[in-house]
Amino acid sequence: MNRRRRYQRPRQFFRRVNHSLSELGKQFIKSLQVYNFDKKIRCGSNCDGGYVFAELDGEYDCYISAGISNEESFSRDFINKYNINKNNSYGFDGTINDYPYHYTENIQFIKKNINNFNDENNSDLSFLTSQYNNIFLKMDIEGGEYPWLLQMDETKLSKFKQIVIEFHGITNNGWNSKYNHKVQCLVKLAKTHYIIHAHGNNYGPVVNKIPDVIELTYVNKNYFDSIPEMNLQSLPIANLDFSNNGSKDINLNFYPFRK
């Protein structure tokens, strides 16, 4: 998101794990495997705050923007493209006082953070996963993705037709989550969804070629008739991916991002 980033310098944990190719390291690499998908589009700005996702057949019955700050160009474009209305569109952020409605008014603002429990300041989104079955989720919550994903089961995750999510500190123990818990989250998502796009956020560092902060796009496996081939397309994609901070983008032309 277009906010004041608090990216942390990683301890070289992934480097040590990857060097020895431990079982955890193997799971980490495999869980980041990107699969082929031809119809990709972008919504949002051509910098931090915009994301690439799959243009799928059918509709979405719910849109969720988790993590807002002051940048909602993706939500604006997505809501307009898919004719989402205020009745099934939700924005969550407990760190701001109100939604930046100059982007769109077709969304309900809920002043709560996403977490692994529910109270007056936090939501685990269960009230939405119990209502809807074809959800689009855009999530950038500065490390809060890990506690939320750890408490999610496959039944709840299967309610998400597509997910665009920014993972923070994936190579280390930072962002208030342990490395092994982060791998658990990636492995869990890989059971229900395929990654069809990856983009490194260059506001964060690169550790052993892996972006420490990475934007991943997941499509529900139920959308596919068979296991797709591994991605053969160069990453980043010209005129679709854009640098987050304006400097040179991060090269992902190696396994697991490209065959």
pLDDT digits (tens, 9 = 90+) for 1-23: 434 455 555 554 544 444 555 89
Q: What is the pLDDT of residue 179?
A: 97
- Tokens in use for 89? 């569109």
Over range 96-122, report the average pLDDT. Answer: 98
* Nearest to 178, CA basis, from 129, 151, 143: 143
Number of Cβ within 10 Å of residue 156's Cβ equals: 16
Alpha helical stretches, state H, 34-129: 73-82, 126-129
Rg, C-alpha atoms of the chain: 17
CB 227 within 8 A of CB 177: no
DSSP label at 88?
A: G
Nearest Cα neighbor of 116 from 107, 125, 103 is 125
**25, 54, 114, 203, 212 from 162: Cα distances, Å:** 26, 8, 18, 25, 22
pLDDT greater at residue 12 or residue 157: 157
Per-residue pLDDT, 15: 47
The answer, yes or no, to whether residue 239 has pLDDT greater than 60, is yes
The predicted structure's pLDDT at residue 69: 96
> Contact 161/56 with Cβ under 8 angstroms?
yes
For residues 110-132, one letter each, b for 16 or more C-beta atoms within 10 angstroms of the residue's C-beta and e for the rest, the string is bebbbbeeeeeebbbbeebbeeb
Q: What is the mean pLDDT of the chain?
A: 93
**CATH numbers and ranges of domains, the chain:** 13-223 (3.40.50)
What is the arithmetic mean of pLDDT over 115-140?
Answer: 98
CA 97, CA 110: separation in Å to the nearest integer?
Answer: 10
Q: Give me the pLDDT at residue 9, please.
A: 54
Q: Answer whether 128's CB lies under 8 Å from 150's CB.
A: no
Q: What is the per-residue pLDDT for 4?
A: 40
Judge whether residue 152 has pLDDT over 60. Answer: yes
Tell me the average pLDDT across 19-34.
88
Label residue 56 by pLDDT band (50, 70, 90). Answer: very high
- Between residues 17 and 26, the one the model is more confident about: 26
* Res. 257: pLDDT tops 80: yes
How high is the pLDDT of residue 1? 45
pLDDT digits (tens, 9 = 90+) for 164-205: 999 999 999 999 999 999 999 999 999 999 999 999 999 999
pLDDT band at 96, cuts 50/70/90? very high
C-alpha–C-alpha distance, residues 133 and 58, integer Å: 12
What angle (nearest 5°) sits at the alpha carbon of residue 244, between those of residues 9 and 150?
60
Mean pLDDT, residues 45-61: 97
